[in-house]
Amino acid sequence: MDVISVIRTKRDKGELSPEQIDWVIDAYTRGAVADEQMSALAMAILLNGMNRDEIARWTAAMIASGERMNFDALSRPTADKHSTGGVGDKITLPLAPLVAACGAAVPQLSGRGLGHTGGTLDKLESIPGWRALLSNEEMLHVLDTTGAVICAAGDGLAPADKKLYALRDVTGTVEAIPLIASSIMSKKIAEGTGSLVLDVKVGTGAFMKTIEDARELASTMVALGTDSGVKTVALLTDMSTPLGLTAGNALEVRESVEVLAGGGPQDVVDLTIALAAEMLAAAGIKDADPAKALKDGSAMDVWRRMIAAQGGDPDATLPVAREQHVVTAPSSGVLTRLDAYDIGIAAWRLGAGRARKEDPVQAGAGVELHAKPGDTVTAGQPLLTLHTDTPEKFDYALKSLDAAWDIAPEGTDFTPNPIVLDRIA
């Protein structure tokens, strides 16, 4: 087997054989295939695609590059959730303890933010003492004793994906749907969960800008999960507007705790309950009521135990940015658009996100929203509050907000998008 023939096969729109896929993934992981050669293959896949058999084999080869976890010793069925990323997407924080409170075990391996999309681990690290890095034994202990764990994936889980993702990020091949699907699903299948619910975001603040692309990605991932014996469903959800009223690390933790206390923004509550219902159904738990578990405090109890089990103090005061800047509505009327991407870029520029994986983030930085599309606003009222420890960043962040909203005349009839757009199973 040689890498040039593999590249040529896909360059010429051919189908890669199982043997070619197994060999090239293994050889790249070992360093026998150079980065520039794998870059050429990734670009050929971006341009010419892969069929279902190729994607399934590619995913299996990535899984085989590392270890596989197993949760058979747990007394509960396992259910996991993956989001393709967005702005203000804090859903994992209330969702994991909620589903655990309803009887499932939730092994949530999460990631960090990059660019305008927030990262679950960055948010939780704003809680004093909380640890993202757990050994497999620690992860299983937290999961067994609390019902839920949110942590970083270990180095042994699909190492081929870790190496290939870093390469795609710098070669303009991140957008290849076969590679996105196999990247996500190789980690989730290797993780060993029994069922999986995918939250595929659609809109300006999402990776998939159109519902057609989101549906293709969701269908591909559902097929991969199903073929691997993992009960998998996907919801396509709106990301044209930020979720909730905050985008930023400690800001989003605070809002998540409000949801767990029975309050919080309605869109966050609605999506959390919708995803919880899907996870519980996929795990075979039929009689649980996630809405009730939010109201009666049982989800909050799991949250507190889960945070404490990972070294965090659930009663600690969360970081607050040293400086704030209020952006006011320029006119009166009905807010008809508040662009998720622009808000995400502003939060990133304020210090809530990173340009490189090794960059630090500010725990208190971000954007607070005082209105959402459909609300009536008055000229001069606060529309957004920007938070940062470094006020010199305000001007840079404000530039991203020049065209971030539309305000229609008073009395305009406007209905925001529903939060759940479609379901793929």
For residue 284, what is the domain's CATH number?
A: 3.40.1030.10
Within-domain flag for 64: no
| pLDDT digit string, tens, across residues 206-258 | 989 999 999 999 999 999 999 899 999 999 999 999 999 999 999 999 999 99
Q: In degrees, to the nearest 5, what angle opens at C-alpha 29 toward C-alphas 27 and 32?
A: 40
pLDDT at 118: 84
**284/329 same-domain check:** no
For residue 60, tell me if it sits in a domain.
no
Same domain, 335 and 293: no
pLDDT lower than 70: segments of the chain: 357
The pTM of the whole model exceeds 0.85: yes
Residue 373 belongs to domain with CATH number: 3.90.1170.30
Q: How many domains does the chain have?
A: 3
DSSP designation for 318: P
Indicate whether 102 and 236 sit together in one domain: yes
Tell me whether residue 82 is one of the annotated catalytic residues: yes
Report how far residue 192's alpha carbon sits from residue 120's, in angstroms, rounded to the nearest whole number. Answer: 20
Q: Indicate if 302 and 397 belong to the same structural domain.
A: no
Of the residues 168, 305, 387, 393, which is catalytic? 168
Together in a domain, 333 and 287: no
For residues 334 and 274, membership in a common domain is answered with no
Residue 68 lies in a domain: no
Residues in a beta bridge with 382:
328
Do 41 and 134 belong together in one domain?
Answer: no
Asked if 161 is an active-site residue, the reply is yes
Q: Residue 270 has what pLDDT?
A: 98
In this structure, the number of other CB atoms found within 10 A of the CB of residue 265 comes to 20
Classify residue 122: in a domain, yes or no: yes
Active site residue 186: no
Range of the domain at 268: 80-156+170-179+187-309
Does 13 share its domain with 88? no
Residues 146 and 106 both lie in one domain: yes
- Same domain? For 129 and 250 the reply is yes
Catalytic residue, candidates 82, 90, 112, 123: 82
Phi, then psi, of 371 in degrees rounded to 5: -155, 155
> Does residue 417 lie in a domain region?
no
**Which of 187, 215, 304, 349 does the annotation list as catalytic?**
187
The answer to whether residue 55 sits within a structural domain is no
Domain assignment present for residue 367? The answer is: yes
Q: Is there a single domain that holds both residue 199 and residue 284?
A: yes
What pLDDT shows up at residue 149? 97
Question: The tokens 């890095």 sit on which residue?
Answer: 133
pLDDT of residue 422: 97
**Of residues 80, 161, 238, 342, which has the active-site annotation?**
161
For residues 239 and 226, what is the distance between their CA atoms, to the nearest angstrom? 26
Residues 348 and 255 reside in one and the same domain: no
Catalytic residue among 65, 83, 126, 183: 183
Task: Please answer whether residues 393 and 373 qualify as being in contact, where contact means their C-beta atoms are separated by less than 8 angstroms.
Answer: no
Nearest 5°: CA angle at 120, between 204 and 180?
Answer: 55
Task: Give the end of a domain, one of 279, 309, 339.
Answer: 309
Distance of CA 360 to the CA centre of its chain: 19
Active site residue 57: no
Residue at 163 is within a domain: no
What's the sign of the alpha-carbon dihedral 384, 390, 394, 400?
negative
* Whole-angstrom distance, CA of residue 95 vs CA of residue 276: 6
